[in-house]
Amino acid sequence: MRMETVLFDLDGTLIDTNELIIASFTHTIEKYADRPYTREEIIDFIGPPLIDSFQKVNPDLVEEMMATYREHNYAHHEQYVEAYPTVVETINELKQAGLKLGIVTTKLSDTAKLGLKITGMDQLFDVLIGLDDVENAKPHPEPILKAMNLLHANPMTTLMVGDNYHDIEAGHNAGVKTAGVAWSLKGRKVLEKHDPDYMLEEMRDLLAIVGVE
């Protein structure tokens, strides 16, 4: 069955914000934690909502840490953020082919919109669901279900694309097809353990999967 709707995670999937995220975590942890954290420890924080990560660092100062992180992250977007190879042209082709397109992210909506604007993709998506738009973040199905509801999408013809196991699990929980991306900072083997229906070597691979080429 031909896919009609494609939902995307943002960071690590469409746009490369890995170094920005690591820099923002490092800046925040240096200010609030009781010890230095390694790069590997910080990479483990990428994906889940900030509140979950900072609970592990210092549960008494979570709000302060989130505010510090977000201030740093927003201020340094233009310095770090760029789209992954073949992403922009692929999204444009999907749009021109008439597919419904959405973003489902654990970022706040305003910060997500900034990343899309910097990479020239701010006019390409029909819906954006950020952390501030839902009660439950991925891997809970709510963000995907909300996007599908707004798009009047059929789960049978919807695909969720992401770089983190939270994205794949959220897709499974919402009853849609899933695709992992091989450029995930977590590594493709981590994603493959969660049984995505597809694995993209580059974003252009999506065109054949959804039936555009």
- Of the candidates 40, 37, 11, 34, which has an alpha carbon nearest to the alpha carbon of residue 26? 37
CA neighbor of 16 nearest in space, from 169, 155, 183? 183
> Does the active-site annotation cover 195?
no
- Rounded to a whole number, what is the distance in angstroms from the first to the last CA of the chain? 14
CA distances 183 to 11, 58, 79, 116, 170, Å, are 12, 31, 21, 19, 19
- HSE, CB side, 13 Å, CA atoms: give it for residue 144: 29
68 in Cβ contact with 28 (< 8 Å):
yes
Chain centroid to Cα 74, Å, comes to 16
Round to whole Å and give the CA distance between 19 and 33: 20
Which sequence positions are flagged as catalytic? 9
